[in-house]
């Protein structure tokens, strides 16, 4: 049985996030060159949100997971790297496949900016909540789900300079969060096992288009949430 690595990037370059296009333009050629050092089968998938609502990073990752399963060949086991478009790997091992979550970059209260996980662990936590619109909170929801399911979280390579963070636009997150609503959603997610009905198993979406780059195993999805 072979492993198929899916590198999932959530993306939108509109309004306050228009600078994300420049970050993606830096990241893609860097990834193409960086991945040459690893003898692994991988597919890079960019999941672009096709609307002007607040950004929904968690649901985009859920969609990426569900779409990746359609690209598996018989006998392949999926493995995942979830990463933001402003993170360029410098000393990240993409061939280290293990059970649970392997946190690379983010913050200790969540699983966010960059981490690896096996497909079974991601399905066991039902992915992310689908209804967290705006910035923040989804990473905390994911780590709490992992704790509930006693899934191991490895932070042995956490935040130790293995990545480069590209310059960000400081206004990106302004007016893109509803703290009161998101706090309620986060609390509700953990009460009475509500997280079991809010994630991969209830993720509704449609794909507007998919563009494939034949020079680089890269698929760009335009996603309707």
Number of domains the chain contains? 1
- The pLDDT, as a whole number, for residue 175 is 47
Question: Does the pLDDT value for residue 172 go beyond 50?
Answer: no
Q: Which of 20-24, 181-185, 187-191 has the highest mean pLDDT?
A: 20-24
Of the listed ranges 12-21, 135-144, 164-173, the least confidently predicted one is 164-173
- The pLDDT, as a whole number, for residue 160 is 82
- The pLDDT, as a whole number, for residue 178 is 53
The structure's pTM equals 0.93
| CATH (domain of 14) | 3.90.550.10
Structural domain harbouring 206: 2-224
Classify strands 2-11 and 218-224 as parallel, antiparallel or unpaired.
unpaired
Query: pLDDT above 90 covers what percent of the chain?
Result: 75
129 confidence band (pLDDT: 50, 70, 90): very high
Average pLDDT over residues 17-36: 95
Q: Report CA torsion sign: 57, 14, 64, 156.
A: negative
Helices (H), 84-178: 119-124, 138-148
Average pLDDT over residues 90-107: 95
Beta bridge partners of 101: 117, 153
State the residue for tokens 């949430």. 225
Kindly give, in sequence order, each residue whose CB lies less than 8 Å from that of residue 187, ignoring residues fewer than 6 positions away: none
- d(C-alpha 109, C-alpha 86), whole Å: 20
162 confidence band (pLDDT: 50, 70, 90): very high
Average pLDDT over residues 15-22: 90
Of the listed ranges 117-121, 157-161, 175-179, 191-195, the least confidently predicted one is 175-179
Q: Pick from 113, 140, 133, 210: which is nearest to 179 by CA?
A: 133
């Amino acid at each position: 049985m072979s492993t198929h690595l899916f590198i999932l990037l959530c993306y939108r370059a509109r309004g306050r996030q228009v600078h994300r296009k420049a970050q993606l333009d830096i990241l893609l050629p860097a990834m193409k060159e960086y991945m040459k050092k690893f003898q692994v089968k991988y597919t890079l998938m960019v999941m672009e949100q096709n609307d002007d609502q607040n950004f929904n990073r968690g649901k985009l990752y859920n969609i990426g997971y569900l779409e990746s399963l359609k690209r598996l060949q018989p006998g392949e086991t999926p493995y995942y790297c979830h990463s933001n478009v402003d993170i360029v790997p410098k000393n990240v091992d993409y061939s280290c496949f293990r059970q649970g979550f392997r946190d690379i970059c983010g913050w200790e209260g969540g699983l966010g900016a960059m981490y690896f996980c096996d497909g079974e662990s991601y399905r066991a936590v039902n992915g992310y909540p689908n209804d967290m619109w705006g910035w923040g909170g989804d990473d905390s929801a994911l780590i709490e789900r992992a704790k509930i399911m006693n899934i191991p979280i490895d932070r042995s390579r956490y935040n130790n300079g293995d990545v480069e963070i590209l310059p960000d636009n400081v206004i990106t997150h302004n007016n893109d969060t509803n703290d009161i609503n998101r706090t309620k959603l986060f609390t509700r997610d953990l009460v009475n096992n509500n997280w079991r009905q809010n994630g991969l198993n209830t993720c509704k979406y449609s794909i507007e288009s998919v563009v494939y780059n034949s020079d680089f195993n890269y698929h760009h999805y335009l996603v309707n949430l």
